[in-house]
A and B are shown apart, each in its own frame.
Chain A
Amino acid sequence: MRYLSHTPGDIHSMLDTMQKPSIESLFESIPKTARLNRDLDLPKALSEIELKKTLQKIAGQAPAASFLGAGAASHFVPEIVSQLLLRGEWLTAYTPYQPEVSQGTLQAIFEFQTIVASLLGCDVANASMYDGATALAEALLMSARLKPNAKIILISRAVHPEYREVCQTLLTAAGLHLAEIPLTSKGTTDIAALKNQIGKAHGNIAAIAYQSPNFFGQLESQAELIDLAHSHQALAVVANTDPVAFGAIQSPGNLGADIVVSEGLGLCGHLSLGAPGVGLFATKQQYLRQMPGRLCGATIDSDGNIGFVLTLSTREQHIRREKATSNICTNHGLMALAFTITTSLYGKLGFKKLAKHNLQKTIYFRQQAKRLGLHLLFDGPHFNETVIQFAQKETLEKTLDNLQKQDIFAGVKLDKWYPEYPNCLLVNTTELHSDDDIDKLTHALSQKGL
């Protein structure tokens, strides 16, 4: 076995040193009744040659073209990102508990926190969460800690359905009540209905949560939602599933949002069936002590030089145990690094340009779609998602089938989560799509020859 270096001689001499007769004897502390007395029933070992062939066969090809976004939009990530992640010093280091030999990871986390705080418009960001959905759930749990007498959380129906499901699981477990804010006909959070809900809750609201750009790509009236939360002593919690938007739209934190979370998957380089990406989490300075997750801070060493350490760990499970703000330990460090490298490559200028390209492609898609007679369900301010509604279910299904035969995936059907929007397709258009790709798609969707 190529990963194991012990020769029979080594084993012999080690056992001698220990005065033990055999390796078997080292397991004597396991009582007979607790032992497995057979071989594990697993397929036999493969050599690397066989393994590669097997894996190649299972993996097959990447899809030819995809307009699937819905919380997992791809963006262009330069090849160097994946190559840098393969440096063993990044890949095979542990959590930086010994700062003197982990300054690389620590400085990178400090840079990550700086970038995330500025993208989300907040004072402070943590060292990462698992994903956007758990980051949102943790944000809502945090708001409940900050508003200990309030048990209700209002969440917009335009928040990613899977994020809402995850919040439902975690918040219910914590004894909180999650209620949904309905939608307007424009595909945005219904503020009039929200006011009504607030009235009925009698000050029992810990947080109001929305997503912008929302699940349908529409931009929410952030300032109004945040003001509404604050005027009712609730926290404004904002989710986002594609931080590229912040190259073009207002950052929620800059508008006064209390906690902002996002998902960095699209900038990490590999969709990998939706994970691992990286959960981004940021808040106001005043709420720092209630934050979940690791934080990296700057300090000085005994020679007086600036360096970095993990800090404020009295919030965390390894110090505070049952009184910790969260049980999170391992986070998504390597993906946070990928996110840091990618955003640094784009840089100040490139990041804004990236956002602009997403808008241009989406505007182009919408222009072409309209020209070909496709119906856009929502036509308000937007980022890089568009909902196309078909007159008939059959047309939609047939079109999708035809495209799928060419290994092209046109969008995500909404009816699985939104029965009120039948025959609708959520189409994601980004800098990765050429005009040609978009032309082909619009023609296929409208069933007109190119």
Chain B
Amino acid sequence: MNQPPAGRRNFDFNEPLLFEKINEGCFGVDLPEGEASHRIADDLVALALGNHARGEKETLSLSEHSEPEICRHFTRLSRWNFSIDTNSYPLGSCTMKYNPRINEWAGRLPGFSQLHPYLPEERLQGALSIMWDLQNSLSEIGGFSQTTLQPSAGAQGEFVGVMMIKAALKARGENRTKMLVPQSAHGTNPATAAFFGFEVVSLRSTPDGCIDLEDIKAKMNEDTAGIMITNPNTLGIFEKDIVTISHMIHDQGGFVYGDGANLNALMGMARPGDFGIDVMHFNLHKTFTTPHGGGGPGCGAVGAAQSLTPFLPVPLVAQKADGAFYFDNDRPLSIGKVRSFYGNFGMMVRAWTYIREMGPAGLKKASELAVLNANYIRARLKDHYHLAYQTDCLHEVVFTDKWQQEKNHVSTLDIAKRLIDHGMHPPTIYFPLVVSGALMIEPTETESKVQVDATCDAFIEVAAEAKSNPENLKSAPQNTALRRLDEAFAARNPVLKWTPEMPTSGEAFKKYAQLLNGRE
């Protein structure tokens, strides 16, 4: 303990937008030149286009740079990013664990990365075997009878799951109109339910942070399709009544949707399928180390219990008697296709690689250490920040800004921004919405004790500073190239792309943005 803070000053570079500093006439790709086809005359090319040729006035906002300049541009920009590779990134609900580089190697193997989706199945046996294995491994980890890999991310997995529930109800001749969603749920849950025209019925939690059984009893009925539940929930707390809840929903003919974003707490310890979840999305980009990439791509595989398996999207990978794999499109009750081709195969290879390297014992150990780290943080910080709930947590813990607000008028946002000056990425803030001023910390298992201690030290120092020098928090961050950004100005005066008229100085930019949006 008492190490110097992780953050310090460093030299850095300004880097204008790609379009601002062009090098007229430059380009960064050489194409072959010498073949007969390259001598096909412009008038023949024009003929092929008929009257569809691009007009003289149709400009393209592209750069004019050589490869070294492009390399430097994107290298400089990259340095303005916080990343897991640079320091702890304890964003709650996001599972920012180390992303193994072997995954990247695997995804780039030409035998995977150069496969066209319409190659004949005989030529895709390796890829299909990866998908087959991954379907089965996820089914085993989650306790499901079958898993589709097609959804591109968690939200699309939710879409698939809820659509399957709707299809199953329809197959029974029922048209239920409501969906139960706890107040603590992620925004994608109610957004998904609403897409299907379900009225979202909010569920209360009890003072221990779990869903109120009485509330379910009052609201679950034969008009209700089921419940969308996250377990452990977004407070990091295991829904202790989950088995009872599943029974209550099932008894009334409903289905239980599981949001699997928090599966990192449970691998090898408990399986959602076993505690009554009928259908659940996995986030391979959280639990199974496919990289977040600044916002995706992910993979939101969906596991289903026996009762919902017939409704899974097409195709599933299946195996013939002779051992050959194929895409099974012959699934009459399927909800259909939800995206082009077969889903984010590149991410499947990475997740397969991770699961294969960890093995069953490794995955369990990962969950154990994720929970150990979170509880350790809870223990070290509970005298410095107000704990949202006293109940034991699993892989993440939620604090609030209550004490800092009351005593020093310092908010969660101020705390988050000051953590940046300590070289830390802030936790998830203001989520879940049920906790006022939430600070949601998920360390993950790949942070060492030394690192977790450094994270705690930073939090503790910021809490001390909130008392001694609250202004430092309100004016944070101070160590970053840019200071606090004006999000309200951006929303009021949207400037969503570069134009040749866009000024490079802040003052002139403000006027430009207002003028662009019809303001003086």
Most chain B beta carbons < 10 A, residue from A34, A251, A314? A34
Q: How many interface residues does chain A have, given as a range?
A: 35 or more
Quick check: B486 and A299 within 8 Å, CB to CB? yes
| Alpha-carbon distance A234/B111, docked complex (angstroms) | 45
Q: Are B196 and A58 in contact (CB under 8 A)?
A: no
A450 in contact (CB, < 8 A): no
Q: Which of B200-237 contact A (CB under 8 A)?
A: 200, 237
29 A-B interface contacts by CB (under 8 A): A6-B372, A11-B372, A17-B379, A18-B376, A26-B368, A29-B394, A30-B269, A36-B269, A45-B358, A46-B359, A54-B356, A62-B111, A111-B18, A131-B152, A162-B340, A250-B58, A251-B58, A272-B113, A273-B342, A276-B347, A329-B153, A329-B187, A330-B152, A331-B153, A332-B295, A334-B295, A345-B67, A360-B37, A363-B45
Residues of A297-335 at the interface with B, using a CB-CB cut-off of 8 Å, are 297-309, 311-314, 316-324, 326-335
A248 contacts B140, CB within 8 Å?
Answer: no
Q: For the complex, what is the distance from the CA of A349 to the CA of B91, rounded to whole Å?
A: 42
Alpha-carbon distance A378/B173, docked complex (angstroms)? 47
**Contact among A31, A278, A360 with B240 in the assembled complex (CB-CB below 8 Å):** A31
Which residues from chain A contact B385 at a C-beta distance below 8 Å? none
Are A301's CB and B485's CB within 8 A?
A: yes
Quick check: which of A81-89, A191-199, A441-449 contacts chain B, the rest being far away?
A81-89
Contact: A344 with B70, CB < 8 Å? yes
Whose C-beta in chain A lies nearest to the C-beta of B243? A33
B403 lies within 8 A of chain A by Cβ: no
Complex Cα spacing A199 to B41, Å:
44
Selecting from A118-126, A147-155, A369-377, the interface stretch reads A118-126
A163–B86 Cα gap in the complex (Å)?
Answer: 40
Contact among A74, A118, A330 with B285 in the assembled complex (CB-CB below 8 Å): A330
Q: Does A275 contact B (CB under 8 A)?
A: yes
Contacts A5-B449, A20-B375, A71-B340 hold; do A334 and B509 have CB atoms under 8 A apart? Answer: no
User: For the complex, is A184 an interface residue (Cβ under 8 Å from B)?
Assistant: no
Q: Which of A176-215 contact B (CB under 8 A)?
A: 212
Query: Once the chains are docked, how many angstroms separate the CA of A19 from the CA of B375?
Result: 11
In the complex, which residues of chain B have a beta carbon less than 8 angstroms from the beta carbon of A70? 118
User: Which of the 9-residue segments B250-258, B301-309, B330-338, B465-473 touches chain A?
Assistant: B330-338
A residues in contact with B379, CB < 8 Å: 17-19
B227 to chain A, nearest CB (A): 15
Question: A54-B356, A114-B498, A175-B197 given. 7 additional CB < 8 A pairs?
Answer: A6-B449, A42-B141, A55-B353, A107-B15, A173-B196, A273-B342, A380-B50
A272-B74 CB under 8 A given contacts A350-B27, A362-B48 = no
Considering the complex, which residues of chain B in the window 22-56 have a beta carbon less than 8 Å from any beta carbon of chain A?
A: 25-29, 31-32, 35-38, 40, 44-45, 48-55
- Cα distance A369–B291 in the bound complex, in angstroms: 44
Q: Report B158-202 residues with CB < 8 Å from chain A CB.
A: 158-159, 163, 166, 186-188, 190-197, 200
Chain B residues, Cβ within 8 Å of A254 = 55, 58
Q: Which residues of chain A have C-beta atoms less than 8 A from B200's C-beta?
A: 321-322
Contact flags (1/0) for A65-81 with B, using CB distance below 8 Å?
01010111010101010
Task: Sort chain B's interface into a size bin.
Answer: 35 or more
Q: A45-B358, A360-B38 are in contact. Are A272 and B485 (CB under 8 A)?
A: no
Chain A window 269-282, contacts with chain B (Cβ cutoff 8 Å), 1 for yes, 0 for no: 01111111010000
Q: Among A39, A108, A299, A320, which residue has the most Cβ atoms of chain B within 10 A?
A: A299
Q: For B25, B127, B363, B372, which residue has the most chain A Cβ atoms within 10 angstroms? A: B372
Contacts of B45 in A (CB 8 A): 248, 356, 359-360, 363
Residues on B with beta carbons closer than 8 Å to the beta carbon of A99:
482, 485, 487
| B337 proximity list for chain A (CB < 8 A) | 162, 165-166, 169
* Top 4 A-B pairs, shortest CB-CB distance: A334-B293, A88-B85, A45-B359, A59-B111
CA distance A198 to B308 in the complex (A): 39
Report yes or no: B506 in contact with A304, Cβ–Cβ below 8 A. yes
Q: What 1/0 flags go to A376-400 for Cβ under 8 Å of B?
A: 0000111000000000000000000
Residues of B contacting A45 in the complex (Cβ-Cβ under 8 angstroms): 356-359, 361-362
| Binary CB contact string for chain B from 66 to 100 against chain A (1 if under 8 A, 0 otherwise) | 01001101110111111111100101001011111
A residues in contact with B409, CB < 8 Å: none
Q: How far is the CA of A160 from the CA of B342 in the complex (A)?
A: 15
Tell whether A1 pairs with B358 under 8 Å between CB atoms, given A36-B270, A299-B485, A302-B483: yes
Is A359 a contact of B71 with CB atoms below 8 Å? no
Are A94 and B294 within 8 A (Cβ)?
yes
Counting CB contacts under 8 A, is B497 at the interface? Answer: yes
Q: Which of A58, A318, A380 has the most CB of B within 10 A?
A: A58
- Is the beta-carbon distance between B62 and A409 smaller than 8 angstroms? no
- State the CA gap A19–B358 with chains docked (Å): 29
A419 interfacial contact with B, CB 8 Å: no
Q: Output the residue of B94, B371, B380, B482 with the most chain A CB within 10 A.
A: B482
* B115 CB within 8 Å of chain A: yes
Flag if A114 contacts B497 (CB, 8 Å). Answer: yes
Q: Is B117 an interface residue (CB 8 A)?
A: yes
B120 at the interface (CB under 8 A from A): yes
Which residues of chain B come closer than 8 Å to A165, judged between CB atoms?
336-337
Q: Which residues of B contact A55 (CB under 8 A)?
A: 106, 109, 353
